[in-house]
Structure 1
Amino acid sequence: MEFTFAITPSKQSVLLIDQLMESYSELYSIPYARDMCFVMHELVINAVEAMEKEGRSESIEVHMRNEDEKLRITVTDFAKGIPQEQWPVVLDMSADGDNFCERGRGFLFIQHMVDQLWFEQVSDVQFLVGVEKKLVTAGEVT
């Protein structure tokens, strides 16, 4: 199953994606549903806030693919995103020290809920954040 949504950068769009993800998780019996709903929420709210901060109004693209026992989500916005030199810092965050502050802690939580988190600077003003989560545990047989 795969879908892509183009949403406006607004709080209403965040609520819509929350409801869609919750319904999707229930309909398809997604393991780790609560975690994945949180992850989707954080990715979309980050995109909305980044675009609002830059005064941009283009659509945010939310893409989700559920196949081969893994869930892959990407959120692409029209904001500058995280500077590439900061990616290692964000991807290596821990809950101790100065890393656990008001902003940016969503990525800290996301890292602990997914198997992979990555960033891609698509263009000067287009930024992608992606996650992947295995939906089968090591001892589970499908």
Structure 2
Amino acid sequence: MSKFGLTVCSIILLSACSASEPDPMDFVGQFRDAFSTEIKGNGIKLFVYKAKLATALDRSIPSDPPQDRIIRRSTQDAQSYLIEQRNAENRLELWNQQIDIGVRKTIEMNGYCQAGFIELSRYVEAERGEIRGECNDGATAEDIKKFAN
């Protein structure tokens, strides 16, 4: 390997090590969630948990005009772009974890699935996510009264 190649690899590795890891606390107060339930006639309890990152407008924060972001992206060098992509992947993983915590805490707080649940589907992308599930327990008369639409 040439000295130039070795130097470039060293710089990339050093910058990757110095890039700050996203903190799970990054999402505190920055997302909105919703929980909807459906009880079928045969007592099957289904739910949909949706979460999305709050927009700048939701949080009353002024946003950069889109053209400013495009100009900044075009002037960005390859190394910082790779770091940004790696951080985006880390944020997506944290977002997945946040959605997991959100659905579990929501179910725990409202008591919908007393015996846990089976995840039927999951859709998560950078700013929103959705989990559909079915409770392991059937609906009681109290559940029907409390959660029926």
Q: Same fold (TM over 0.5)?
A: no
- TM-score normalised per structure 2: 0.30
| Higher RCO by CA contacts (8 Å cutoff, separation 6 or greater) | 2
Q: Which structure would you say has the larger Rg? A: 2
